[in-house]
Structure 1
Amino acid sequence: MTLKVTLCDDSKMARKQLLRTLPDDWDAEVHQAEHGEQALTCLREGRAEVLFLDLNMPVKDGYETLQAIKEEQLETLVIVVSGDIQPEAQKRVQALGAMAFVKKPMKPEDIQTLLQQFGLYQPAAGQLKLADETPQAPANPLDVYREVSNVAMGQAGDHLARVLDTFIELPVPNVNFIAPSELHMAIESIDTNKQVAAVSQGFSGSGILGEALTLFNDASIDDIGKLLGAKLGESGSIKQQRIESLMDVASILSSACLNGLGQQLHVEFAASQPVLLGEHQSMRELIKHGEHRWQKILAIEIGYQLPEHKLAFDLLLLFPADAVKILDQQLAHWLQGDDE
């Protein structure tokens, strides 16, 4: 009997990748959802006996969707597919009833083994069908950048979570092509009226030059210092500890995120030593330092939150126009590999 399957992810590229990992001879009909609310509609209408579910989505995320499934007692087998690979994230989805957790990017052999393990798939049992046969539009470049960033963000979040022994909430990455004068608008999670500190790290690889900015509002800096001091050991004056804390967090996030991007794009990024741009400044004052060097830029903004400690900070990756051209070429190779 043909299984009804729903793929739920806000990224069209991610759904496309997941679809390509499913066995062609799986007796299943595939539906698609862009967020948890749409997935719940599919469930209520009997179109999701098996649900592949992302975690970081707008409208209703994966955790909220799992909670709704549990409360409404909806019958489905949920396989979480996410770039958020923190051990705590896996524990949470399992507690909410998910059958399995698969990290992005997925491999066809892993998906096939998992489906066979749970008795959902037998080779040559049928043919995979798309419920919607409407021709798919070409991938939006921003959607591709967003999905690549999503995987890199998850790796960076996992690294920091292990260092600090805490759970980190991850957002949907905000990706835009913007002018330097609009840069402050890209940082939606930080109030530009507040005083902030920023740590800058230049990076390069395969002809790509860029800058990573880690941004902290003043209300968080002392708490971050206390948390890192407790985890990594305290030394030096209070001011030195404060600066070292900012440098440590910035280095962990930017290095792990760039490593995640590089693995997907086959680029080995090297980052410079972190530099404190300033403290107790407005966002516009901090951003001004780079405006003379950039024209149109690709800005990837990721907001990290530590709910147990009521902390938040942002990582902003900036790629100038000439770097974006090389990135586009690397993404083209990545997409061709995905097509094969």
Structure 2
Amino acid sequence: MTLRVTLCDDSGMARKQLFRALPADWDAQVSMAEHGEQALERIRSGAAEVLFLDLNMPVLDGYETLERIAAEQLDTFVIVVSGDIQPAAQQRVKRLGAMAFVKKPMSAGEVTNLLSTFGLYTPAGGQLHQVEESTTLTASQHKRDTYQEIANVAMGRAGDFLARILDVFIDLPIPNVNELAPSELHMALATIDQDSRVSAVSQGFAGGGMHGEALVIFTDSSMEGMAKLLNYDATNAPVQQELEALMDIAALLTSACLKGLTEQLHVNFSPGQPILLGQHQQLRELLQASTLQEQAGEEDTRPPLLAIEIGYSIKSHDIHFDLLLLFPPMAIPALDRQLAHILEASHEYG
């Protein structure tokens, strides 16, 4: 009997990668959903006997979707597929009723083994069929979606690394991807109040014919909480504690995020020396010290740079900070080529 399956993820790239990883001889009809509300509609209509569910999504995220499934007593077999691999995230989805948790990106072998373990797949049992996607993306939208999904997985790796060190749960957002002129960098940081005073560390990185800059930015209101969370010696001056916290978290977060990019892009990004960009300044003021900002003239007519903002939160300690990855115009063609290779390899493998 043909199984009805739904793949729920806000990223078109992620849905395609997952579909390509499904066994071609699986007797299943596959539908797509872009967020939790759509997934619930698929379940209610009988189109999601098996649901592959992302966590970080707009409208209704994965946690909220699992809660609604339980509240409505909907009949579906849920496999969570997420870039947020924190132990607390995995434990939480299991408590909410998910049958399995798998980190992104899933390989074809991993999917097949998982489905076989739960008795959902029999080799040569039929043929995989996809119901046509209702949403089509322009080339520009597809490019942005791809960047966002790559950043999503790297963000999850960094969040997991930091969560284990600090022994906290870190709330992860949907990455914000923009192409901006260097003089408009402040517009990339949508989560920071433009009137807030902030401190930041800059760290350059390079590899595979590409280079960029990573900025870790803390609002002043979060610095004291971070110093306490790190259990720094209270006998030290508060200013020294804040500086140590800023430099340590920036180095850890940047290194872990670059490792996540390296895993996906197969490019070994080597980080440079962390540099204190500034402390207790307004955002626009501070960003003027960025190395990429310095390359821009007053009337910058060059192609835009790629800016990826990730806003991390530790809500239990009222701590919020941003990681901003910046790729200059000359790095984008090499980045696009590498992403194209990944998508092509994924298609062949799946």
> Where in structure 2 are there 5+ consecutive unaligned residues?
297-301
Where does residue 98 of structure 1 map in the other structure? 98
1:174 aligns with 2:176: yes
Count of residue correspondences: 338
- Give how far 1:238 is off: 2.9
CA distance in 1 between counterparts of 2:170 and 2:74 reads 29
CA distance in 2 between counterparts of 1:205 and 1:234 reads 40
Cα distance 1:277–1:130, how it changes in 2: closer, same or farther (>3 A)? same
CA distance in 2 between counterparts of 1:66 and 1:133 reads 23
Where does residue 330 of structure 2 map in the other structure? 322
- Give how far 1:155 is off: 0.3
Where does residue 163 of structure 1 map in the other structure? 165
Contact 1:229 1:241 in 2 (8 A): no
1:34 aligns with 2:42: no
Cα distance 1:134–1:53, how it changes in 2: closer, same or farther (>3 A)? closer
1:312 aligns with 2:310: no
The Cα RMSD (Å) is 1.6
Contact 1:156 1:253 in 2 (8 A): yes
Report the TM-score when normalising by structure 2: 0.93
* Deviation string, structure 1 residues 127-163 (Cα, Å, up to 9, x no partner): 1111227796676111111111111000000000001
Where does residue 299 of structure 2 map in the other structure? none
Where does residue 292 of structure 1 map in the other structure? 294
- Give how far 1:229 is off: 2.3
Cα distance 1:182–1:5, how it changes in 2: closer, same or farther (>3 A)? same
1:331 aligns with 2:333: no
- The range that moved more, 178-187 or 79-88, is 178-187
Report the TM-score when normalising by structure 1: 0.96
Question: Secondary structure at 2:316's aligned position in 1?
Answer: coil
Amino acid at match of 1:323: A
Question: Secondary structure at 1:155's aligned position in 2?
Answer: helix
Contact 1:235 1:241 in 2 (8 A): no
- Give how far 1:273 is off: 1.9
- Give how far 1:181 is off: 2.3
- Give how far 1:32 is off: 0.3
Give the fraction of aligned pairs with identical amino acids, expressed as a percent: 60
Amino acid at match of 2:192: I
Question: Secondary structure at 1:229's aligned position in 2?
Answer: coil
Where does residue 309 of structure 2 map in the other structure? 301
Contact 2:32 2:133 in 1 (8 A): no
* Deviation string, structure 1 residues 73-114 (Cα, Å, up to 9, x no partner): 000000000000111000000000000001001011111111
Question: Secondary structure at 1:196's aligned position in 2?
Answer: strand
Contact 1:8 1:39 in 2 (8 A): yes
CA distance in 2 between counterparts of 1:189 and 1:138 reads 27
Question: Secondary structure at 1:289's aligned position in 2?
Answer: coil
Question: Secondary structure at 2:80's aligned position in 1?
Answer: strand
CA distance in 1 between counterparts of 2:92 and 2:150 reads 24
